[in-house]
A and B are shown apart, each in its own frame.
Chain A
Amino acid sequence: MYRLLLFFTLCLQACNPFGGSVQPNDKGTILIGTRVNTPQGRMYYLGAYSAIPSQVAPQDMTLLGHNIAIYSYGEHPYIWDGTAAQLFKYEVGKDNEIVAVDSIGFERIAKSNSFGAVAFISEEEAYVFFLAEGKVIEFNPTTMKLVKQMEVDALPIEKGVMVGTNTYYAFVGNDGKILLPVGADPSTFGKFSERACVAVFDSKAKSVRYNEDRRMTIGYNNFTKDFANGDLYYRPSKYIARVQDYSPSQKDAVSGGLLRVRSDGTYDPDFFVDLQKVLDAHRIISVIAVQGKDVLVQYIEKDWKMPANPGQWFGCSTKLAMVDVEALTFKDITSLDKYGTVYPVGEVDGKAYYSNFGAEDGKYHFFEQDNTTILNTKIEAIGGSGIYIARLR
């Protein structure tokens, strides 16, 4: 009988073309995204919860699709749909139902495949970046209307470099500046840039400048944050590590380092650690967490035998180590081995959260970081990996 009543409710919603109107949720809802394995491929789901749940499952969440990126600001989730080339605004109702309420499209302004990232400054000011085309679009998130289309300096093209670049992530810094690490396109293979680069958009001057640092190569998804003090770091990327392994001419490029990025988007000249050297590693896969001088690093051991087939590289065996970047020492961490690969997915109330894939038991979790770099299991994700967590305001 309950299922009949539930379906009756759904039918009534289906029959009401104005069913998108909901009572807004003012409880500071927790927003959680997962990527679920389905027979149709991996699909992205989004759920809203009044508190941190012990478990999340797709049947209780909203299906978003398979070509999306999740953002949130204020009381609203925002979803970039790469297939539709549109940014959708959602509302979370008082019963935690998630409903799409508006959208803004950019298909006539920029190419969908040059979409980079979205950044929110305020309830009235937000930006979408298409820096591969030299375009930045300002929109009003309250009205979801285009405010301004700006032509800016496009991503620099380095002579001889074959790996394409874009800015896939955005971090709102101080004084209206938006920092966007320039990342290598993971689907391209060839000569890559041996310079780390950050695009800095000044939302007041409406201009972009590019800051480079030659102590380290380009990467992908390069920023990581010390949640204790807000410091940003530019970290290694497994995608460049893989390309490097099959590119003899660049085998000695410094791809496994750690740089610190200041709030104005420049690199701290007094900070650089070559993690690959400290660990005597074959390659660095990723920096998972940073807290003060302690850096949790995933790496490939030096004696690993590289496969002839580059497609099999990602199945490499890895280890975790905690590196003291002041003493330049490390200790291996085995407590997280059973979870497979661990990666950051967001922040709630000042605490960093991580998720995993490739666990020994095939299960997926969200982990909460405590006051050190210890990660404690917090939420079980049914059906697939966690990819996003945040608290709506």
Chain B
Amino acid sequence: MEITPAILQRYNSGTATDAEVEAIETWLTSTDTEAYSLDPVDLAEMKAAVWDNLLEQAIDEQRSIRSIHASRSKVIYLPLVAAMLLLLVGVVVFQKLNWTTANGSVSEGLLITSAQGPIEVLGDNFKVQFSGYLQVVNRSNQYKSIECTNGEQYTLDPGETYYLETIDGRHYLIAERHLSPEDNYLRFVKGEVEVIAKTI
């Protein structure tokens, strides 16, 4: 599988498929650049950005402390030259890709979290069938629309987080900006969701 920036973004955000995760983790410890069509310097830049993201999001990767150390231990087997290559492109990585934790990377879709976990869907208009209480994050720079199967339609502002709730069989949308920040509403997410993209 070819490693692309889109796949790396999904890996960093925890929404990559199992096959993508396996491919990326193999690539992270590989020095073979012939299998990839991207420029080797670009590959090194992306690799450095992923490692920095792992360092800062160690807990959010849902791994134990021991397994993170086990993953990291692979790096010590990289030749020192490879480590210096990461160092040399480091500044370029931060400036070019702007993958800092504060700014994050902007994707094009929605991140919808149910009891089954998060899924990222690309597109502009969606129809969802769900029960319970979902979190929906519009991670793009555009407005998106969401239609519930009971007929309710909502517009999602760029960069905003919402909660879709179910009351007496109808669905309502709550903007997170109106909720108390000291509460973590993700802990209350429940139910299942099926997403149907209308247009892409």
Contact = CB atoms under 8 A, between A and B. Distances in A.
Nearest to B95: A3
- What are the 8 A-B residue pairs with the smallest beta carbon separation, nearest first? A65-B60, A311-B172, A385-B181, A187-B188, A314-B178, A7-B90, A187-B133, A41-B137
Interface of A: 3-4, 7-8, 10-11, 13-20, 35-45, 57-59, 62-69, 79, 81-84, 86, 88, 100-103, 105, 113, 115, 185-189, 221, 246, 309-311, 314-315, 341, 343, 345, 355, 357-358, 383-388
A67 B118 CA distance: 12
A302 B200 CA distance: 46
Interface in B4-63: 13, 48, 51-52, 55-60, 62-63
A7 B60 CA distance: 22
B179 A41 contact: no
B65 A38 contact: no
B64 A39 contact: no
Contacts of A11: 48, 83, 86-87, 90
B56 A62 contact: yes
Contacts of B198: none
A84 B59 contact: yes
Contact of A7 (B73, B91, B172): B91
Contacts of B165: 187, 189, 310-311
Nearest to A102: B65
Contacts of B83: 11, 15
Given A3-B94, A358-B177, A17 B59 contact: no
A84 B64 CA distance: 8
A39 B104 contact: yes
B183 interface: yes
Main secondary structure of the interface of B (DSSP, over half): mixed
A81 B51 CA distance: 21
B139 A39 contact: yes
Contacts of A67: 184, 186-187
B102 interface: yes
B161 A79 contact: no
A101 B68 CA distance: 11
A342 to B, nearest CB: 10
Contacts of A355: 181-182
A81 B59 contact: yes
Interface in B129-182: 132-133, 135, 137, 139, 159, 161, 163, 165-168, 172-182
B76 interface: yes
A17 B70 contact: yes
20 contacts: A4-B87, A4-B91, A7-B94, A10-B52, A11-B90, A14-B72, A38-B101, A38-B103, A39-B106, A58-B101, A59-B102, A62-B56, A101-B65, A187-B133, A187-B165, A310-B167, A310-B172, A311-B173, A315-B175, A388-B182
Given A42-B176, A105-B64, 8 more contacts: A15-B75, A17-B70, A63-B60, A67-B186, A68-B184, A86-B64, A309-B172, A387-B181
Contacts of B104: 38-40, 43
Given A11-B86, A69-B184, A17 B102 contact: no
Given A14-B75, A187-B189, A36 B59 contact: no
A18 to B, nearest CB: 7
A10 B55 CA distance: 9
A68 to B, nearest CB: 7
Contacts of B111: 40-41
A269 B187 CA distance: 34
A39 B103 contact: yes
